[in-house]
């Protein structure tokens, strides 16, 4: 080979390997820990998520930063504990409120990715403020299509409350709801992937489903696939999970079709654990086993979730067992984009840990809280997990031996208890009280000490 041709080939190879990856964040809503195939479910097939898992690291100790909807999203959007800026509740649907939403003082994930040279898009549930100042296009997204509230009816024309029946929104303009919403969101996300496949710069897509959050609504063709499940709520929920899996499958297929899959960094989580609605319906239709608790709890079932990280050209698939948290998505994406992360983030760049370059744990300690200062706290350090419900005595669990948090070992380890209680107190010095309240019937109330 002649030298000029060789130099050209080397330059091309260098540009390919140096190319910044596309970045996709996929969020399910109220998904049970045991309700997808790669987590062990035999009842709800999820072939597309399982395919993604097969080319991912499955983070077996993966958490989100809160046990219910909007605060988790605020954490993902900033890479910071949302308690630091008062986003500890779900904002009510208040288009007139300039306080009930993601603080305007926070720099967002898409804003930072735009600085790194990315086209940014969002599809799906927003739930980070209803006032126009909080609109996704005002918070760093070049393109947006979705539902701006905390949820939505799944079928066009279905009756419900104002927040759940608002028109869908595209870049600030109302758009019609034309089909089963999960499918419509999947179509929009796949279209974004295809539309930007040949751009001269990479893209970042935030794909936030409202499925399988209530209301429990599923198309007949999906319900028929689960006819063997006798309990109606569980059957409908299973159909909703399967429909979401199919929508994700369409997006993954578009990545493959456009030859972008190898160099796309994908994160997948649920925004919290599956809810326990047995008090209302007599049935808990989600499955968080083997974890204790559910959405709203600071036990594992509230915020330990199905958690995938995929980047086929960089990260070998398998399992990763150290504790990680969705706050890590932002600094990891910035590192992949060869961009410097702000110094105030609580998340860390996971790449050296997931590639095996570093063998230590990414985090020394992870913190969780609901109800503001003095509310319900949890802290994880190594395999120790301390839970403190209001003013009740702290509980201590060894998650390596007791993932279900069934045996409180606080009495046998007073020094560990004191260290973790002190850690909570120090962490809380960097937090503030909630700046807005959840709507009535929204976030679970703080448990009273017994």
Catalytic residue among 34, 66, 127, 152: 127
Q: How far is CA 435 from CA 65, 103, 237, 356, in A?
A: 17, 9, 33, 40
If DSSP codes are grouped into helix, strand and coil, which group holds residue 49? helix
Closest alpha carbon to 249 in 182, 186, 313, 205? 186
Catalytic residue among 48, 59, 66, 69: 69
CA distance 218 to 434: 35
Supply φ then ψ for residue 348, to 5 degrees: -125, 160
If DSSP codes are grouped into helix, strand and coil, which group holds residue 389? strand
Supply φ then ψ for residue 386, to 5 degrees: -105, 135
Supply φ then ψ for residue 331, to 5 degrees: -65, -30
Yes or no: say if 144 and 169 are a contact pair by the CB < 8 Å rule.
yes
Closest alpha carbon to 208 in 309, 327, 73, 91? 73
Beta-bridged to residue 264, according to DSSP, are 22
Yes or no: say if 73 and 146 are a contact pair by the CB < 8 Å rule.
no
CA distance 58 to 37: 12
CA distance 450 to 448: 6
Residue 69 appears among annotated catalytic residues: yes
Query: What does DSSP assign to residue 98?
Result: S
CA distance 140 to 204: 11
Helix (H) or strand (E) holding 182: helix 181-195
Residue 196 appears among annotated catalytic residues: no
Beta-bridged to residue 27, according to DSSP, are 208, 269
Q: What is the dihedral of CA 105, 110, 116, 117, to 10 degrees?
A: -130
List, in sequence order, the alpha helices (H) in 38-178.
47-54, 69-78, 109-115, 162-165
Q: Which residues form the catalytic set?
A: 69, 127
């Amino acid at each position: 080979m002649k030298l000029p041709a060789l130099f050209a080939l080397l330059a091309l190879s260098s540009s390919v390997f140096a190319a910044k990856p596309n970045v996709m964040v996929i969020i399910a809503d109220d998904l049970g820990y045991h309700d997808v195939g790669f987590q062990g479910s035999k009842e709800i097939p999820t072939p597309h998520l399982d395919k993604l898992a097969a080319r991912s690291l499955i983070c077996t100790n993966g958490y989100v930063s809160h046990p219910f909807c909007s605060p988790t999203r605020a954490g993902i959007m900033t890479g910071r504990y949302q308690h630091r800026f008062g986003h500890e509740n779900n904002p009510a649907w208040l288009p007139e409120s300039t306080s009930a939403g993601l603080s305007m003082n926070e720099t967002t994930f898409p804003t930072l990715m735009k600085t790194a040279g990315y086209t940014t898009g969002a599809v799906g549930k927003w739930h980070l403020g209803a006032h126009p100042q909080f609109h996704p296009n005002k918070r760093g997204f070049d393109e947006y299509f979705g539902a701006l509230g905390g949820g939505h009816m799944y079928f066009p024309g279905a009756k419900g409350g104002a927040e759940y029946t608002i028109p869908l929104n595209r870049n600030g303009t109302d758009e019609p709801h034309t089909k089963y919403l999960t499918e419509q969101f999947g179509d929009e996300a796949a279209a974004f992937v295809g539309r930007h496949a040949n751009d001269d710069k990479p893209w970042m897509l935030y794909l936030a489903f409202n499925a399988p959050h209530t209301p429990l609504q599923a198309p007949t063709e999906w319900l028929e696939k689960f006819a063997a499940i006798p309990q109606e709520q569980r059957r409908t929920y299973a159909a909703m999970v399967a429909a979401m899996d199919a929508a994700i499958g369409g997006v993954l297929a578009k990545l493959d079709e456009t030859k972008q899959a190898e160099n796309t960094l994908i994160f997948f989580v649920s925004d919290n654990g599956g809810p326990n609605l047995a008090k209302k319906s007599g049935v808990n239709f989600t499955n968080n086993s083997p974890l204790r608790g559910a959405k709203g709890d600071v036990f594992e079932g509230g915020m330990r979730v199905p958690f995938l990280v995929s980047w086929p050209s960089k990260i070998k698939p398998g399992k990763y067992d150290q504790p990680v948290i969705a706050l890590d998505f932002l600094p990891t994406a910035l590192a992949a984009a060869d961009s410097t992360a702000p110094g105030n983030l609580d998340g860390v760049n996971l790449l050296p840990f997931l590639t095996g370059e570093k063998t230590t744990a990414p985090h020394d300690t992870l913190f969780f809280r609901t109800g503001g200062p003095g509310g319900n706290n949890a802290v994880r350090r190594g395999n120790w997990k301390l839970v403190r419900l209001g003013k009740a005595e702290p509980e201590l669990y060894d998650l390596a031996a007791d993932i279900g948090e069934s045996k409180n070992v606080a009495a046998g380890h007073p020094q560990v208890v004191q260290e973790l209680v002190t850690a909570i107190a120090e962490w809380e010095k960097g937090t503030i009280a909630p700046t807005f309240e959840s709507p009535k019937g929204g976030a679970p109330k703080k448990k009273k000490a017994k």
